[in-house]
Structure 1
């Protein structure tokens, strides 16, 4: 009873950990440490293997040396004469320096280096000179069957191209920011060759620039000389056309001719205006005269004639004489000599007036005709002069066009002549745009491979990959491994845990290990299960228990036997082997084969007293003779009556039932039980398979008391603290793993 009291004081099962809400979940560092600790040897082994491979690879790599030459590229050109247009050099922007950096890496510069250092005969840069590995012929399957064709002669151009590409891969250009300095890095397996390559590239760049500058000057000179011949010929043709046109049109000085013609046109225009004004007056008088004569038939009635000054004078004299005649007629008679003289003078004045009127009319007509003829003559003269001026203008326009063409060709000819003189004067003056600041020296230490860094990175990568694989395996592992998995995935309380046994001497009698005093830890675990079973329903009399599992081999028979032995300390206990297909109770407790058992009782061929076998502390009913129809026997009323009868004689009855997944026998048995203990082997079955099996039991209305987590690794800490210290406190694992 002291032992039972001690067991009752211990917790029957690990309490469920309070879960945080979904949005408040935090990283469980203990779980991460548990995963890493569980796979520590695999992680260490994988990391060590990767590190070892990295060490072997690094030490098998050929060391590479790097030499550096420093070059200064002048951005401003030495301007002896103003001929930048010939070379097209723009030294005022960064584009010039960027262009020169690209020229440094150009194929032309690298080809000079290849030829100068004879890199075509260097196996490092000409891969065709490298010796093929000994296994190369074995990898060529065509040689196995004699199908290998003779190799075609290699193209020298392709060899040069590949060599230049290899050299370009080993050369890097590093401009120094905000300066005209550029560093040329060259890498090679030979430190002396690396320095030679860096210096050769700097010299080849300077030589290439000088050659290109000279070639550009010569090409510009040749081109301009060719253009000079063309321009000379065009100028000559233009001058000849100008002279021919002058001779053809008899042109001497058009400007004076145009000025004289303009003055003449102005004078004629003014005269024409005056004549037209006079013509308008005479035409008006003429029209009045003509219209008045036709209407009256009397020229004296014409107002235009009467207004003539001469007629006006005669009119005045006529009026004076008429007044005189009137006065004389009053004083003298018609026969008076003064009267006759006055009438004679009046008649003379009137005749003269008529004569003068006729003359005036005739004069007006003549003057109108003269003015009209003058207007026509002046108008024709003006039109003719305008035509002459227009012809002269057209000649002047053509002349000016020919003169402009001659002047344009002459200016272009003079400009090209001046450029040719400048270019010829500076063709022998060559200035380099760069100079070597520091020559490359032979390096003492290689720049790669960086052995320590590579090994460290490989070790870190191996560690990270192995840890990632461990966490991946952990996430993919859907088995029931911990008590937390039992509670969360199966929704069952944990009655207890049992350790995984590896000692062969212990495995031989695991079914009664509870009674082994040397295995005190195992006994404590079984007592915990017993206490948990009793505490699950303290207000009920749980006396008949069934023990089952998902599949065979999970240890349900061992759990049932040890649980029965532990219950035997509390009261009279009976162990019944209900696994009528693969019975083990009789074999484990060394009951004589062929003894009467449960099958005989259900078949009605024996009674209970014959089937019960006395063991150490408990009674047991083995299977007996294996029947051909176990399920039919377990579903009979005789089995229910048997269990009811056994309840009355025993305090506890433990039924060792078959697994759930294989057969449905346990579904028949569980209906008669007060509780059912479900055994789960840690890390074996997938959680969905175990959940399906438990679901079948619940659908059959089985009273599932809880689960026992069996074969758990005592050294692997689970979520609820069942770790090595729990078992070591009793000294159980002092000599077993």
Structure 2
């Protein structure tokens, strides 16, 4: 009895579960919807708190006014001459150009220029609005700006620069060359003044940068031209000297479009190409001759033999003589003179055919040897020519190096000289940046915006609520769903028992149409599939902790089995805290503990219940050491005797954690049913309980999830069994919730 029952087919839910009766996986949205329903009040509380915080922050925030200046950054800058400036005229066509301009509009150097142009470090309104003087404790409150030290002035300018960078924003207008410069501050006039100066400073900075780059380019070109002139002269002299010393002669030289000299052909290279072509033909001839020789060696009737006229004539003559010989053999013996003459003639013809075939084979071999000799000669000639070519190529490498150096130096010198001339005569180009709409002082504040802030607060609240729900769901170890129970314990689910509310088990058992009865009918049906002989003859029910529905499940399951005409006895073996006798309204004067202590007449303590075919054996007086009694052989003897008198024996065992009773009881029954309460039993406790049973070699039939409320989860585990039984509307409503 140490094997674990195979998992029964089940309809699973939520995390990879299948919908009830459909065999299809439920969408993951149902799982999230279910979690949201369980944590509804927490989610609502977080959302309300986030909205309240957003409202308070909006009401307390300082109003800001945003001024906007619109500028145009042209794709090309106008040029009064036909010469190109330092910057390419078509550079604006590149996306990188506009990205660079946007970054330059937000550069710190531009912010520093604006701060200095507007003298913001000495502007009373700016200093007051942003509190630049709060850190200057050494100065009196009414100190003038002339009393500022250079260090204090630099600090104010640095802080002003940071404030400008924080307040400015750049907004390119999609599909155009227009860019909006926004600046936000608590003062409308200050915002307009800074936005306009920002655009003006950007235009001036762009022009200064272009003028500076032109001056730098001229100085750079002058230095480079002098050095390139000397390098060109040296490289030309080196080329002439090396060509004279090596006696290098080219058959033909060409010059590319870019002015570089290229050598196209030499005599040695032409010879190598010719010999290489002949060698390729020789290799092909040798391969063909080798193939013919191989075919001739494998088959005497080779292609050459088939087209040979002499062989064909001999074969034709042999066929005629063989025919005449065959006709004579029909009438005469082989020793007949005429037949013997034809036989001799056949032998002579065969000898001639064999000689002719040898001659053909010798001709093929001779052709193959000739092809091999030609290939060898050509390959030897090619090797010698390659050696010669290699020597010439080694000499040409250095020559080409000198030639490339001359070409490169000449091109660099000519291009730089031309560029130097163009920059020298090029006029000043007009600016490609212009101000389209100057900023005006805004009338209404741009921020804070109440609806936007509330929307952002709502999004933030949703994010916080999601994080809180995820954390709580992961910290919650309680078993909530049947699929969770099956995945955690690796056990089949025998049944899911709905929460019966305030009704007692006896009241629900008496009504076969109740949800509880229907649920345990499902347990009984699934339990019949766990063994090859149907319902187990003996079984026990246990749980991790008390009050998880173990005793109720034992009673209702026994009653459900008895309802189909089987004789069932319910045995309360919880010798520490028996409770089943109280549910049935019976006595606990004697029972299991009496038998285990040595009394043999157990039938004296068997009590009849109000339920048909169901008997009850109470636990009896509570012994001082229940574990010692249960570890004796008398428990097994009791179960065997009960099995002889009843069809099924159902045992209500004590809880597992902290006690050794349940594993001892599991040794004397066919198997064990593990009972766990929804949303109470933790996964860790359940796993430890199952591990103890498996260590004791107990057979586990499956698990039952009790006190399950389907309306809290929505996974298809509800039990609306009132359908079709004529129950009143209130009962139907409660059964389907």
Could you state the TM-score of these two structures normalised by the residue count of structure 2? Answer: 0.53
Give the structure 2 partner of residue 665 of structure 1.
661
The SS at the match of 1:583 is: coil
Give the structure 1 partner of residue 594 of structure 2.
600
Give the structure 1 partner of residue 553 of structure 2.
559
Q: Which moved more, 1:100-109 or 1:556-565?
A: 100-109
Distance 2:27 2:173 in 1: 52
The SS at the match of 2:9 is: coil
The SS at the match of 1:105 is: helix
Distance 1:497 1:703 in 2: 20
| Residue among 154, 161, 165 paired with 2:162 | 165
Quote the offset at 1:556 in angstroms: 0.7
Deviations 1:658-684, CA, capped at 9 Å, x for gaps: 123332322322233244322122344
Is the 8 Å Cα contact of residues 601 and 611 (structure 1) preserved in structure 2?
Answer: no
Distance 2:170 2:495 in 1: 72
Q: How does 1:253-652 map to 2 (within 5 A)?
A: 437-449=436-448, 451-463=450-462, 466-467=465-466, 470=469, 480-501=479-500, 503=501, 505-506=502-503, 509-510=504-505, 512-517=506-511, 520-537=514-531, 539=533, 542-569=536-563, 570-591=565-586, 595-604=589-598, 607-617=601-611, 618-652=614-648
Deviations 1:696-717, CA, capped at 9 Å, x for gaps: 4345443433321212222255
Runs of 5+ in structure 1 lacking a partner? Answer: 1-12, 80-87, 131-151, 214-430
Deviations 1:574-630, CA, capped at 9 Å, x for gaps: 22211112222234344456x223212221358424423343224323222211221
Classify 1:89/1:450 alpha carbon distance in 2 versus 1 (closer, same or farther; 3 Å): farther
Distance 2:442 2:436 in 1: 18
Classify 1:465/1:160 alpha carbon distance in 2 versus 1 (closer, same or farther; 3 Å): closer
Give the structure 1 partner of residue 677 of structure 2.
681
Quote the offset at 1:54 in angstroms: 3.2
Deviations 1:270-319, CA, capped at 9 Å, x for gaps: xxxxxxxxxxxxxxxxxxxxxxxxxxxxxxxxxxxxxxxxxxxxxxxxxx
Classify 1:469/1:724 alpha carbon distance in 2 versus 1 (closer, same or farther; 3 Å): farther
Classify 1:94/1:635 alpha carbon distance in 2 versus 1 (closer, same or farther; 3 Å): closer
| Structure showing greater Rg | 1
Runs of 5+ in structure 2 lacking a partner? Answer: 1-6, 17-22, 136-148, 211-429
Classify 1:112/1:630 alpha carbon distance in 2 versus 1 (closer, same or farther; 3 Å): same
Deviations 1:46-82, CA, capped at 9 Å, x for gaps: 4454344334434443332221234679998999xxx
The SS at the match of 2:508 is: helix
Is the 8 Å Cα contact of residues 677 and 707 (structure 1) preserved in structure 2?
Answer: yes
Is the 8 Å Cα contact of residues 716 and 723 (structure 1) preserved in structure 2?
Answer: no
Quote the offset at 1:657 in angstroms: 0.6
Give the structure 1 partner of residue 50 of structure 2.
50
The SS at the match of 2:711 is: coil
Distance 2:633 2:558 in 1: 25
Distance 1:489 1:433 in 2: 71
Is the 8 Å Cα contact of residues 574 and 654 (structure 1) preserved in structure 2?
Answer: yes
Deviations 1:390-437, CA, capped at 9 Å, x for gaps: xxxxxxxxxxxxxxxxxxxxxxxxxxxxxxxxxxxxxxxxx9999755
Is the 8 Å Cα contact of residues 477 and 683 (structure 2) preserved in structure 1?
Answer: yes
The SS at the match of 2:129 is: coil
The SS at the match of 1:528 is: helix
Is the 8 Å Cα contact of residues 72 and 180 (structure 1) preserved in structure 2?
Answer: yes
Give the structure 2 partner of residue 292 of structure 1.
none
The SS at the match of 2:525 is: helix
Give the structure 1 partner of residue 192 of structure 2.
195
Give the structure 2 partner of residue 412 of structure 1.
none
The SS at the match of 1:67 is: strand
Residue 105 in structure 1 maps to residue 101 in structure 2: no
Q: Which moved more, 1:100-109 or 1:61-70?
A: 100-109
Distance 2:209 2:535 in 1: 109
Classify 1:169/1:651 alpha carbon distance in 2 versus 1 (closer, same or farther; 3 Å): closer
The SS at the match of 2:689 is: helix
Deviations 1:20-60, CA, capped at 9 Å, x for gaps: xx9xxx99552441232232324455445434433443444
| Residue among 681, 703, 715 paired with 2:711 | 715
Give the structure 2 partner of residue 284 of structure 1.
none
Is the 8 Å Cα contact of residues 113 and 204 (structure 1) preserved in structure 2?
Answer: no
Is the 8 Å Cα contact of residues 65 and 184 (structure 2) preserved in structure 1?
Answer: yes
Distance 1:434 1:643 in 2: 101
Distance 1:437 1:64 in 2: 24
The SS at the match of 2:128 is: coil
Classify 1:544/1:110 alpha carbon distance in 2 versus 1 (closer, same or farther; 3 Å): same
Give the structure 2 partner of residue 705 of structure 1.
701
Classify 1:727/1:444 alpha carbon distance in 2 versus 1 (closer, same or farther; 3 Å): farther
Quote the offset at 1:201 in angstroms: 4.8
Could you state the TM-score of these two structures normalised by the residue count of structure 1? Answer: 0.53
Distance 2:60 2:190 in 1: 21
> How much is the aligned-residue C-alpha RMSD, in angstroms?
5.4
Give the structure 2 partner of residue 244 of structure 1.
none
Give the structure 2 partner of residue 270 of structure 1.
none
Is the 8 Å Cα contact of residues 591 and 606 (structure 2) preserved in structure 1?
Answer: yes
Classify 1:117/1:212 alpha carbon distance in 2 versus 1 (closer, same or farther; 3 Å): farther
Classify 1:575/1:78 alpha carbon distance in 2 versus 1 (closer, same or farther; 3 Å): closer
Quote the offset at 1:466 in angstroms: 4.0
Q: Which moved more, 1:480-489 or 1:189-198?
A: 480-489
Deviations 1:92-150, CA, capped at 9 Å, x for gaps: 797999899669824243233245993456533225569xxxxxxxxxxxxxxxxxxxx
The SS at the match of 2:668 is: coil
Distance 1:543 1:53 in 2: 65
Distance 2:160 2:602 in 1: 99
Give the structure 1 partner of residue 411 of structure 2.
none
The SS at the match of 1:702 is: coil
Distance 2:36 2:177 in 1: 58
The SS at the match of 1:123 is: helix
Classify 1:107/1:565 alpha carbon distance in 2 versus 1 (closer, same or farther; 3 Å): same
Distance 2:119 2:448 in 1: 25
| Residue among 130, 133, 141 paired with 1:125 | 130
Give the structure 2 partner of residue 330 of structure 1.
none
Give the structure 1 partner of residue 426 of structure 2.
none
Distance 1:646 1:211 in 2: 108
Distance 1:456 1:579 in 2: 60
